[in-house]
Structure 1
Amino acid sequence: MTGTHQMLYRERLRSAKEAVDLIPSVAKVAMPIAAGQPPAILAALAERARAGAIDNLRLHYLLCTGVAGTSVFDFDLCDQIIPISYFHGGVERALDKRRSAEALPAVDLVPCHFSQVPRSLVEHVGVDTLIATVAPMDADGNFSLGVSTDYALTVSRKPGIRLILEVNANMPYVRGDCMIPISSVTALVENDVSLPILPAAPSNEVDDTIGAIVAGLVEDGDCLQMGIGALPDAVCSRLLHHRHLGIHTEMMTVGLADLLKAGVVDNSRKQTHVGRSIFTFALGDQSLYNLLHDNPDIEAHPVDYVNNPFVISQNDRAVSVNATLQVDLNGACNSEFVNGRQFSASGGQVDFVRGAYASRGGRSIIACHSTAAKGTLSRIVPALTGPVTTSRNDTHIIVTEYGWANLKGKSVAERAKALIALAHPDFREELDRAAHGAGLYA
């Protein structure tokens, strides 16, 4: 670290209050995903809003944690700090419930593939400020975005962007294309706190059954992307006897980290970034964060690179594993709505569905339980009750606890029959009648 770097650091160091006072009262602000969201800066923004010093601050983000949920996204501040979400999770659902009770509109959600979020923020929204948590400055005067490179790096390179960074000694120093130089920074805040932890999703017998089926579709030497939740974790737990797996994934998970630690992943069969695991954000437990810290075998890159379907396809035998909420008899998937309301969002599902299938020998796998609501509703349905997330033209392999079906090359009638065979037996006759009634067998 040179004397110039240290001088610039000292010049930019501020209290959290001083730093957020640099943001106009009307602003378009972006923050990274989850563990990259800066708690001290967010708390100071919330206090400024309570003091009446913010008029209209639109805060753009994807996947919120309690850090924001208990500060800037306090219900009473939503007229001043407006959440603009590119995903929909627990914080947003809680806000929606409260707002619905008071006849207010739901949280604004921007439908967008994860790979397209950086361009949306820079080109279409025109954000003017980025707030983010970073690792301490390195010897070259750079700050690693650590576990949340996602869209933050691309936004940080927007000409004229206001960069307010929270330096946290507990943020892993992650290598890769994830660095912000001190010369670009507007203000720095120091705050050493623990990163948010994502508890392991509880699994059940159905998850384990599906995990075993999916793991049976994975071959030695495949390059993996795993989604979030109990199903992908169940798959990872069944891959511990595989060999020479690779990782090119949007989210680095505890399950994937376990495969790295076990030596199952060595990235030796990849065509890009040989020997290195690639991700764009991470969320999990402390052991995951420890693994990422200054690890030469793991790199973070921006999501418009990691989730670019063409980039994904450059590795042979790319395998994507994601979950969905509903599959219709044509093979289209709804991964976003429950009971007619926004429950989740598309994230990077379609990015990897298309990228994996485009790779030589690649497979896109979408899994779900056959039923919901304690067995009273079928997830295989005649027609979706929400938007199409992954179209019938894109779906490849569908898995439930009753098996799997490759939909590629199948006619509408063949798809309907294959999907009905994956449904719970209690619903198969009803689905068969619906398929006949809809003319799918004609």
Structure 2
Amino acid sequence: MDVQELYAAKLMSAEAAAQLVPSDSHVAMGMAVAEPPALLAALANRIETGSLTGMRLWYFHSMAHAAKTVLKRENIGRVRPHCMFLSSVERSLIKADPSVCEDLIDFVPTAFSASPQLLREEVALDTCVTMVSPMGKHGYFTFGTANDYTSVAARAAKRLIVEVNPLMPRVFGESPLHVSEVDGIVENRTPLLEVGEHPPAAEDELIADIVAGMIEDGACLQMGIGNLPAEVCKRLTGRKDLGIHTELLTPAFASLIQCGAVNNRRKATFPGRSVFTFAMGDELFYQWLDDNQAVYSLPVDVVNDPRHIAKNDNVVSVNATLQVDLSGACNSEHMMGHQYSGSGGQLDFVRGANASKDGISIIACRSTAKDGAVSRIVPKLEGPVTTPRNDVHWIVTEHGAANLRGKSLRERADAMIALAHPKFRDELARSI
């Protein structure tokens, strides 16, 4: 059948598409910018009217569309979230109603790189719903900003329903999606969710200076989310022959590509192209991403595989943490007795950078929290270990940088105390 005829045969309203989802089923949702608002609203309507019950929703990093529909407070309990990375959406729900929501939101600990296998082999996925870019003349959509686990879940689920948004960029890479693979198509033009930058704190400026000073020409970069990576990138515009192999692609990375600091010419994998698995930014960034052969999107079990990361030389991995103990172990996901986020891909890239020839892994954080009242450098972690001390390489705060590789526990403690805020150093020294 002609691809246009096939498209037309599968085109339906969001309400009709939502009717395809049975009760008591496992549903995977496109993450972050790829949340499909019309489909989620239609599913929420079924949940609220009682015609869809027992739905278990699997996802990473929810945002505003889910918060207004399937994850709004009235629906927690009617739908069972299986969240692999908490965002402000879940944190707000738990903060507002901890006695109920903390029990009803199921946090599923898993590395980002392991999520495709989890959804493919351990979860009996009935349906996957996600936003995609428009279909091309040969019948292919792309997953746009979210290849990650979504491209795998789309094939693992019994049925796939896509929401076509003409504003979703068409992105080159693996896992193009043919119209023959889709069970239902919904059309909905809506602005993409945007994530902006915030003014950096003075500590972030100091940390960014230190981190940028550790990055040389020819480095292959991965950076996490937040103000710090953006500040580091601003300091790299004069570098040459940088490469990008990253979990998250952001406007800060786009600026490095546009100014010529990034050309990917020294990379062993996908030379000439910046590799990523999901993207978030603003409208101009999404326009730049569209039909841009300088970037290449792959599933997260490829992008975040330490063995694949390490094929490139000079990998520099920069990630943030919430708390570091005196041995160097990092808790990057748990705070004040509660799950705050998730392990994400931090350990994947720490290990990938460590295995890379001349690679370095950097974990960075401000030395204090709560306006200086609490030290992030602690004798013992209050939550789970996201990055074990065995894997930690460099730790950076506004007070300096410490290479922990090859150091004894006593040497590590001395180095970590030197990175702590001066007002906490004596107390930390007494704890040894």
Scaled by the length of structure 1, the TM-score of the pair is 0.96
Query: Which of 211, 215, 218 is residue 215 of structure 2 equivalent to?
Result: 218
Query: Which of 280, 286, 300 is residue 303 of structure 1 equivalent to?
Result: 300
**In the alignment, does 2:386 pair up with 1:389?**
yes
Cα deviation digits, residues 244-269 of structure 1 (max 9, x gap): 10000000011111111111100011
8 Å CA contact retained: 1:95, 1:107? no
Partner SS for 2:103:
coil
8 Å CA contact retained: 1:365, 1:398? yes
Query: Which of 188, 193, 208 is residue 190 of structure 2 equivalent to?
Result: 193
Partner SS for 1:320:
strand
Partner of 2:112: 114
Cα deviation digits, residues 190-229 of structure 1 (max 9, x gap): 0011100012133111101100100001010000001000
**2:304 aligned partner, one-letter code:** N
Partner SS for 2:221:
strand
**In 1, Cα distance between equivalents of 2:41 and 2:186:** 12
How far is the alpha carbon of 1:102 from its aligned partner?
A: 4.9
**In the alignment, does 2:177 pair up with 1:157?**
no
**In 1, Cα distance between equivalents of 2:325 and 2:29:** 35
How far is the alpha carbon of 1:101 from its aligned partner?
A: 4.8
8 Å CA contact retained: 2:131, 2:143? yes
Partner of 2:407: 410
Query: Which of 91, 98, 105 is residue 96 of structure 2 equivalent to?
Result: 98
How far is the alpha carbon of 1:306 from its aligned partner?
A: 0.4
Q: Mapping of 1:32-431 within 5 angstroms? A: 32-102=30-100, 105=103, 107-158=105-156, 161-431=158-428
**CA separation of 1:104 and 1:197: change in aligned 2, threshold 3 A:** closer
**In 1, Cα distance between equivalents of 2:39 and 2:53:** 17
8 Å CA contact retained: 1:99, 1:105? no
**2:209 aligned partner, one-letter code:** A
Partner SS for 1:140:
coil
8 Å CA contact retained: 2:76, 2:104? no
**In 2, Cα distance between equivalents of 1:367 and 1:429:** 22
Cα deviation digits, residues 137-181 of structure 1 (max 9, x gap): 0122111000001101111222x6200000000000000013111
**In 2, Cα distance between equivalents of 1:108 and 1:203:** 33
Moved over 4 A (4+): 101-104
Query: What runs of 5+ residues in structure 2 fail to find an aligned partner?
Result: none
Q: Number of residue pairs matched?
A: 432
8 Å CA contact retained: 1:168, 1:193? yes
**In 1, Cα distance between equivalents of 2:334 and 2:55:** 28
**CA separation of 1:259 and 1:233: change in aligned 2, threshold 3 A:** same
Query: What runs of 5+ residues in structure 1 fail to find an aligned partner?
Result: 436-442
**In 1, Cα distance between equivalents of 2:251 and 2:274:** 14
How far is the alpha carbon of 1:55 from its aligned partner?
A: 1.2
Q: Mapping of 1:13-28 within 5 angstroms? A: 13-28=11-26
How far is the alpha carbon of 1:132 from its aligned partner?
A: 0.5
**CA separation of 1:213 and 1:253: change in aligned 2, threshold 3 A:** same
How far is the alpha carbon of 1:12 from its aligned partner?
A: 0.3
**1:295 aligned partner, one-letter code:** N
**In 1, Cα distance between equivalents of 2:100 and 2:222:** 41
Equivalent pairs: percent with the same residue?
Answer: 50
8 Å CA contact retained: 2:149, 2:299? yes
**In 1, Cα distance between equivalents of 2:355 and 2:338:** 32
Partner of 1:31: 29
**In 2, Cα distance between equivalents of 1:428 and 1:313:** 36
8 Å CA contact retained: 2:221, 2:245? yes
Instruction: Tell me how large the CA RMSD over aligned residues is.
Output: 1.1
Scaled by the length of structure 2, the TM-score of the pair is 0.98
**1:384 aligned partner, one-letter code:** L
